[in-house]
Amino acid sequence: MLFIIGMDKQHEHLMPLLETHCHRCGEVTQWHLWKEIEKASLFFIPVWRFAPDYLLVCEQCHDPVKLPREFGKALLEVGNHNDANQAELEALIDKEQHRSRIRP
């Protein structure tokens, strides 16, 4: 018997989140929050939806930085756009972009 199993990734734009320096394009740019949804299907019928991932994407060079899932979810709640979160996001972008630069 033949099973046709598929994996499908969808991206959903949520909102512009912050303006900060991008190490890849070397400019201060707008970063947008995106949601990545992965679904598994059987005979083209979706049967499973994985927990979504949250990505920060640079508007200029489209460099994606993956956020910890809980943090990404928390950012969607109103009132979470504060200075502490902004600092944490900048630190995350810093760390991720630095890591991808030193990767062979």
| SS3 of residue 59 by DSSP | coil
Return the number of the residue (18 or 37) whose C-beta is nearest Zn ion: 18
Residue 91 host element (H or E): helix 83-102
Measured between alpha carbons, how far is 27 from 29 in angstroms, rounded to an integer? 6
Which amino acid is residue 15, in one-letter code?
M
Q: Does 58 bind Zn ion (CB under 5 A)?
A: yes
CB of 97 to Zn ion, least distance (A): 9
How many residues make contact with Zn ion (CB under 5 A)?
7
Please give the structure tokens belonging to residue 38: 């992965």
Q: In the bound complex, what is the minimum distance in angstroms from residue 27's beta carbon to Zn ion?
A: 7
Q: Which residue has the tokens 């990545």?
A: 36
Least distance between Zn ion and beta carbon 35 (Å): 20
Shorter beta-carbon distance to Zn ion: residue 41 or 97: 97
Q: Is 18 in the site for Zn ion (CB under 5 A)?
A: no
